[in-house]
Amino acid sequence: MIICTIMTVQDNHPAPIKILIVDDNPAMLQCLNRLLHFAGYQTATTLKAKEAAEITVSFRPALVILDLMMPELNGFWFLNWLRAQPGLAGIKALVLSAGGESLLRKALAAGADAAMEKPFDREPFLATVASLTAPPEPKRESG
């Protein structure tokens, strides 16, 4: 597991948003890690879904970016595990996969909050990450 952060936390600045990246391709993992690191996110990375479950419990990310097609336990296993954990239910999941549109639809049905096909464009990817990690809008009281 690798944990990176780009910003230092000071009393008057909020802590960086934590993101866990799970992909069995080391080059993709490094690319995503660098991209998110330079965008100001704190990241942790792993090549395996089972290790991702362990990291999720301790790291408590706001978002997990997840590949689906991995050896041993795949991304669907992780999505099922994540959605079955009551204390972790609020963690968002973004699936990145080269498996095609039908696989992305299955990921959304399995509990992913968003899904994008690989390869992806940088700006839409970062916009999706930002929207998934944005604080919820405050509820307005009707009156």
Write out the H or E segment, with its range, that includes residue 8. Answer: none
Q: From 105, 100, 140, select the one nearest 118 (Cα to Cα).
A: 100
Question: Would you state the structure tokens that stand for residue 69, as one six-digit string?
Answer: 């097609």
Rounded distance between C-alpha atoms, residue 136 and residue 39, angstroms: 20
pLDDT digits (tens, 9 = 90+) for 92-137: 999 999 999 999 999 999 999 999 999 999 999 999 999 999 987 7
pTM: predicted TM-score of the whole model, two decimal places: 0.87
Rounded Cα distance, 36 and 30, in Å? 10
Closest CA to 125 of 16, 38, 57: 38
Q: Which helix (H) or strand (E) holds 18?
A: strand 18-22
- Of the ranges 9-13, 39-43, 116-120, which one carries the lowest mean pLDDT score? 9-13
60-83 per-position pLDDT tens digit? 999 999 999 998 899 999 999 999
